[in-house]
Structure 1
Amino acid sequence: MNLQDFKELTVTTKDRIATITLNRPDTLNAVNAGLHTELKHVFRLIADDKDSDIVILTGAGRAFCAGGDLAWLQGMIDVPARFNDIIEEAKAIVFSMLELPKPMICRMNGDAIGLGATLALGCDIIVATDTARFGDPHVRVGLVAGDGAAAILPYVVGFMRAKELLLTGDLLTADEAKQMGLINHVVPAAELDAKVDQIAGRLVRGATQAIRYTKIGINRGLRKFAQENMDALLAYESLSNQTEDHAEAIAALREKRKPIFTGR
Structure 2
Amino acid sequence: MVSYSQLSVEIDPNGIATVMLNRPDRLNAAGAVMHAELSLVFRELERSPDVRVIILTGAGKAFSAGGDIEWMQEMIDDPRIFERTIREAKEIILSMLDCEKPIIGQINGHATGLGATLALFCDITFMADTAKIGDPHVAMGLVAADGGAVIWPQLVGYARAKEYLLTGDLLKAADAERIGLVNHVCSLEALPGEVSTLAVRLAAGAQKAIRWTKATVNIGLKQLADQMLDAGLAYEAVTNLSRDHQAAVTAFREGRKPVFE
Deviation at 1:81, TM superposition (A): 2.0
Q: Does 1:8 align with 2:6?
A: yes
Find the counterpart in structure 2 of residue 244 from structure 1: 243
Structure 1 distance, partners of 2:97, 2:164, is 22
Q: Is the 8 A contact 1:152 1:225 kept in 2?
A: no
**Counterpart residue number, 2:181:** 182
| Cα distance in 1 for residues equivalent to 2:78 and 2:54 | 36
Q: Any idea what the Cα deviations from partners look like across 1:219-253, whole Å, max 9, x if unmatched?
A: 11111111100000000000000111100101111
Show CA shifts across 1:10-55 (max 9, x none): 1100021000011000000000000000001000000001111010
Match status 1:26 vs 2:16: no
CA displacement, residues 175-216 of structure 1 (integer Å, 9 cap, x when unaligned) = 111111111111111101110111111111111111111111
Deviations 1:120-150 (A, max 9, x none): 1111111010011111000001000011111
Determine the C-alpha separation between the residues in 2 that align with 1:121 and 1:187. Answer: 17
The letter for the 2-side match of 1:201 is V
Name the SS of the counterpart of 1:19 in structure 2: strand
Structure 2 residue matching 1:58: 3-state secondary structure: strand
The more displaced of 245-254 and 197-206 is: 197-206
Percent sequence identity is 52
State the match for 1:65 in structure 2: 64
Q: RMSD of the alignment, in Å?
A: 0.8
Mapping for residues 219-258 of structure 1, pairs under 5 Å:
219-258=218-257
In structure 1, the residue matched to 2:207 is 208
Q: Distance in 2 between matches of 1:82 and 1:203?
A: 39
Q: Is the 8 A contact 1:21 1:58 kept in 2?
A: yes
Write the distance in 2 (CA, Å) between the matches of 1:122 and 1:48.
19
**1:91 pairs with 2:64:** no
> Which AA in structure 1 matches 2:47?
D
Report the alpha carbon displacement of residue 85 of structure 1 after superposing the two structures with TM.
Answer: 2.0
Q: How many aligned residue pairs are there?
A: 260
Tell me how far apart the structure 2 counterparts of residues 112 and 26 of structure 1 sit (CA, whole Å): 15
Q: Structure 2 length normalisation: TM-score?
A: 0.98
Q: Give the C-alpha shift of residue 153 in structure 1.
A: 1.3
Matches within 5 A, 1:80-229: 80-229=79-228
How much has 1:158 moved relative to structure 2? Answer: 1.4
Q: Would you say the 8 A contact 1:129–1:188 is kept in 2?
A: yes
| Alpha-carbon contact 1:144-1:240 (below 8 Å) kept | yes
Match of 2:259, SS? coil
Post-superposition CA distance 1:74-131 (Å, at most 9, x none): 1011112211221111100000001110001001000110000110111111101001
Check conservation: 1:125, 1:184, Cα contact below 8 A.
yes
Structure 2 residue identity aligned to 1:9:
L
Q: List alignment gaps of at least 5 residues for structure 2.
A: none
Mark the runs of 5 or more structure 1 residues left unpaired by the alignment: none
Q: Stretches of 4+ moved more than 4 A in 1?
A: none
**Per-residue deviation at 1:169?**
0.6
Distance in 1 (alpha carbons) for counterparts of 2:37 and 2:27: 17
Which segment drifts farther, 191-200 or 150-159?
150-159
Secondary structure of 2:8's aligned partner: strand
**Does the aligned pair in 2 maintain the 1:132–1:174 contact within 8 Å?**
yes
